[in-house]
Chain A
Amino acid sequence: MAAVPLTESAAAGQVRPAPLSLFAGLKWHLLVSRWRAANGASRAGMIVLLVVVALVLAAAVLGLCLLRRIPDVAPLAISGVFATLLVAWVLGPMIAFGVDETVDPQRFALLPLRTSNLQRGLLVSSLVGYLPIANAVVLVGAAIGMSSNWAVLPLALLCSALQLMTCVVFSRAASTAMASLMSSRRGRDLGMLIGFAVLALYLVLNVVLNSGSGLAGGAAKVAQVLSWTPPGSLASLPYLVTTGQWARVVVAAVIAVAFLAVGWWWWRRALVTSLTRGTSETEGSAPSRGLLNADAVGGSLSGTTRLVAGRVLTLMWRDPMRRMPWLLSLLMAIVWPLLVFRFSGAVYGCALGALLFGTQAGGMYAWEGSGLWLHMVAFGDRTRARAEVLGNLLVVTLPAVLLLMLSVGVVAAIRDDWANVPGALGLCLGLLFGAAGAAAVASAYLPYAMPQSRKSMFVSSVPGQKGRTARATIGTMLGGVVLALPTVVLVILAIAVSPVFGWAALAVAVVSAPIVLVLSSRIAAAKYLNSAPEILQLVSAGDRV
């Protein structure tokens, strides 16, 4: 096996440097075993994915190659590409930590390895994998795009290779420095926050860039600044050589190489720190401020509802995995309609946000993983079971109603679309309560586990339950639309026949909301009482992920 040379050298009582091929082999085994572990269906999926990625890569490479026809623009454009790649490499591990087992240097802590040996080995293993290969392909395209004159192609290829090294070194340095942080709960929370910030930034940038004037000028200015940064220096070196700007060539070369050296040094220091100092898992808990509804007492329907709602609200606020979808839904409710609809009727676009808000009520028995047992041993009566569902539903729907009123108001004001507001509000309320009701029922009838490690905001299901999770999610969405059908029909009439139907839609939504709440809580509670042990079994799978 791959580890044999290491143990042999240890047994001999001396530390011989482990060959770099060992690290490459280790990474290769990890990749291959993932393929081996996959069954037929997921292998087919992987192949389809690989083909799609290859096509996308081919398009990207072609685009980059074409840049060599416009040598004035090429350095600026490729500066942007290089800078984006670097940022993606550094932020990637923070958003989805734990994807690559070789990222965590702690796994090597017990092997007899010198830091320099380990660092070179990790560099080699970082270069083996789908992502580095895809990057290398793109960078070859960039090298061709940078060389308007074929004579500088070797230099351009060298710059691309250095760019890949810089990306890997900084990514590893950052993730090693963050390793202790990411192994703690607060660090992972921070990672999710960063992931969300990137997503939000992307959406907002989209709106800004789409909103009209000055895009080209602004982009050019940004690229000008970027060309002085380390990735920009690498991207513009071939162009500077071609045009004979030798002073700038020297400056760019120094910036690029010095940056790489700093990254290498930072990585070395982070490795030493992480291998010699243990992580502290129990550090850093901020003192809590107490539960909401601290006077509510269980037993009656209203008392238990208030009590459960207080807990859910508190946990929702403290748990990034629950907080993020709210922010995302709010973005979808306000930004998305503005982005997509440029005409009267934009307010109806808020309906997507309403549907997403409603789905937040889903998986209510799964949020705390096996923590569900605390409820199971505390009560077994119908009243409390119904109150639990009701508490969850109210925590989702009440704030969502306020946020949807806000978003409909904002969109109506910006697009001057006040005539459609009653219909839009009706549609939003119908979909919100419909989706929330369907989500509650799905929680009990199609429970699925949620990952409890909160490592990534993009992971929402656990291995072996992906189909179940998908069924529950799609079922919730469809159920939401079906329950909202009366309002949907009235809204269509409002658009096609007369705006008066908009008011009817609002009235129907307001009347049907409490009916949906009561019925869905009854159905979900009855199922929970009948099958709580089975639900516990399923949702406990989330503990291990």
Chain B
Amino acid sequence: MLVAHPECGKVGAMSGPDFGAPAPGSQPPSATSAPQGAEPSAGSLPAYPAAAPSDPRTAQQALALRDLTKTFGDKVAVDHVNLDVPAGSFFGLVGPNGAGKTTTLSMVSGLLVPTAGRIFVDGVDVWADPAAAKARMGVLPEGLRLFERLSGAELLSYLGRLRGLPADVVNQRATSLLDVLDLSDAGDKLVADYSTGMRKKITLAAALLHSPPLLLLDEPLEAVDPVSARTIRTVLTQYRQAGGTVIFSSHVMALVEELCTHVAVMAAGRIVAAGELATVRGSAASLDDAFFHLVGGQERHTEGLSWLQSR
């Protein structure tokens, strides 16, 4: 069951032991920045033990994680992670396979219950006031199905109206999203018959539909063709320029280096470095090199493969 961590309010102490670099945006919360809609809404989770559903001290951050932990049996998948994602940043979450990126993003998006710790989106605790927190997020998870037998247009129409948007607003937004993401021709096709790139694009459209301040994207460009990837990047860049915050996980360092303003490196469930891109990269030639050393990678010897030849 969920346990609220007693240390959850310590926003000022940003550069904890988990941080290789000081996290950005660690200025103390100002009283003037009124967290929009941080008041609790009806329907909070009854199982959550008497936690305050919001924390104004984290309201300046698009996302704040406090001692977030997830264990599966004996295995610790996410280990007391503290992280602040400044509003308006393009935040890359990188790490080797099994580092805990997807687990972290799943807990943030409300798909996986944390073992301990708290998550604040815009100052609202995701697990204490899920209704308010979910309205502030758009999510693109990795490897999950959609309502396969709806068409792309139907899916957007349904999800938009489910979130309470009027039908004409939803239709107008869906049309422009399908148009920008080059899905207009496929709008009437069932999602079951979409390619990987098309699925990512329609999920992104669903995530953007209600114009949330925060986008959580798990491997948004994995297995996507270059044309679709370019479209997705353009849309994300524009979204950020309009004031949105993007958090995305990826294996592709070049992409992170090109797109991101901030980056956090995860390894074995912990944040080993976090901060502005240049800070994390430090003196390394590229983010790739920095990443390799941060996660403790070792060059493999390949002499044993000398037999590998075509003749």
B81 → chain A closest CB, angstroms:
18
Given A284-B193, A379-B131, A380-B133, 15 other A-B contacts at CB below 8 A?
A288-B188, A288-B189, A290-B153, A294-B167, A295-B167, A297-B167, A298-B161, A310-B158, A368-B146, A371-B145, A371-B147, A377-B137, A377-B139, A380-B45, A529-B45
**Interface residues as binary, B139-176 with A (CB distance below 8 Å gives 1, 0 otherwise):** 10101111111110110011101111111000000000
CA of A378 to CA of B206 in the docked complex: distance in angstroms? 10
Task: From the candidates A291, A385, A543, name the one contacting B158 in the complex (CB within 8 A).
Answer: A291
The B-contacting residues of A in range 273-302, CB under 8 angstroms, are 281-288, 290-291, 294-299
In the docked arrangement, what's the CA distance between A314 and B190, Å? 12
CA distance A307 to B155 in the complex (A): 12
Q: Tell yes or no: A540 within 8 A of B by CB.
A: yes
* A458 lies within 8 A of chain B by Cβ: no
Please determine whether A307 and B158 come into contact, CB atoms closer than 8 angstroms. yes
Per CB-CB distance, the 3 closest pairs between chain A and chain B, nearest first, are A380-B130, A381-B43, A285-B193
A285 close to B161 (CB less than 8 A): no
* Residue in B162, B164, B193 whose beta carbon sits within 8 Å of that of A185 in the complex: B193
Contact with A along B35-50 (1 / 0, CB 8 A): 0000001110111000
| B111 interface hit (Cβ, 8 Å) | yes
Residue of B42, B47, B111, B188 most packed against chain A (CB within 10 A):
B111
Cross-chain contact of A370 among B41, B144, B150, B154 (Cβ < 8 A): B144
Residues of the A chain whose Cβ atoms lie less than 8 Å from the Cβ of B41: 381
Closest B residue, CB atoms, query A284: B193
Interface residues of A in 299-337 (CB under 8 A from B): 299, 304, 307-308, 310-311, 314-315, 318-319
A371 to chain B, nearest CB (A): 4
Q: Does B180 contact A (CB under 8 A)?
A: no
Q: Is residue A530 within 8 Å, beta carbon to beta carbon, of the partner chain?
A: yes
**Which chain B residues border A398 with CB–CB below 8 Å?**
none
26 A-B pairs with C-beta separation under 8 A: A285-B192, A285-B193, A288-B153, A288-B189, A291-B157, A294-B157, A295-B167, A297-B161, A297-B164, A297-B166, A298-B161, A298-B164, A315-B147, A377-B110, A378-B159, A378-B163, A380-B130, A381-B131, A382-B43, A383-B43, A385-B43, A530-B45, A530-B46, A533-B112, A536-B111, A540-B144
With both chains docked as a complex, state the minimum distance between the C-beta of A390 and any C-beta of chain B, in angstroms.
14
Chain A residues, Cβ within 8 Å of B159? 374, 378
Tell whether A370 pairs with B145 under 8 Å between CB atoms, given A282-B194, A379-B131: yes
Nearest CB on A from B147, distance (A): 5
Q: Which of A371, A384, A452 contacts B162 (CB 8 A)?
A: A384
Contacts of B111 in A (CB 8 A): 373, 376-377, 533, 536
One of A291, A319, A377 near B154 (C-beta < 8 A): A291
The yes or no answer to A369 lying at the interface (CB within 8 A) is: yes
Q: Of B153, B158, B163, B167, which is in contact with the most chain A CB atoms at under 10 Å from its CB?
A: B158
Mostly, the B contact residues are: loop
The residue on A at minimum CB distance from B212 is A377
Cβ-defined contact, B161 with A307, below 8 A: yes
Question: How many Å from the CB of B117 to the closest CB on chain A?
Answer: 15
Query: Which residue on chain B has the smallest CB distance to residue A319?
Result: B149
Q: Mark B43-73, 1 if CB is under 8 A from A, else 0.
A: 1011100000000000000000000000000
Q: What residues of B have a CB within 8 angstroms of the CB of A529 in the complex? A: 43, 45-46
User: With A and B bound together, what is the CA distance between A287 and B189 in angstroms?
Assistant: 5
Given A374-B146, A530-B46, are A307 and B131 neighbors across the interface (CB < 8 Å)? no
Known A-B contacts A288-B154, A373-B144; A318 and B149 likewise in contact (beta carbons under 8 Å): yes
| Shortest distance from the beta carbon of A282 to any chain B beta carbon, whole Å | 5
Q: Residues of A contacting B193 with CB < 8 Å?
A: 185, 281-285
Q: In the complex, how many angstroms separate the beta carbon of A504 from the nearest chain B beta carbon?
A: 40
A294 to B154, CA, bound (A): 9
Assess the A285–B43 pair: CB atoms within 8 A: no
By beta carbon, the residue of chain A nearest B207 is: A377
Contact A298 B162 (CB under 8 A): yes
A368 CB contact (under 8 Å) in B43, B47, B148, B165: B148
Residues of A within 8 A of B43 (CB): 380-383, 385, 529
A residues near B8, Cβ cutoff 8 Å? none
Asked if residues A379 and B145 are in contact (CB atoms below 8 Å), the reply is no
Contact A368/B195 with A291-B150, A297-B161, A380-B110 known, Cβ cut-off 8 Å? no
Complex Cα distance A311/B46, Å? 28
Contact of A379 among B47, B134, B148, B189 (CB under 8 A): B134
Which residues of A are found within 8 Å of B162, using beta-carbon distances? 298, 304, 307-308, 375, 378-379, 384
Does B109 reach chain A (CB closer than 8 Å)? yes
Q: Is the CB–CB distance between A288 and B164 below 8 Å?
A: no
* Cβ–Cβ contact A382 & B150, under 8 A: no
Interface contact A380-B150, CB-CB below 8 Å: no
Please give, as numbers and ranges, the residues of chain B lying within 8 Å of A284 by CB-CB distance: 193
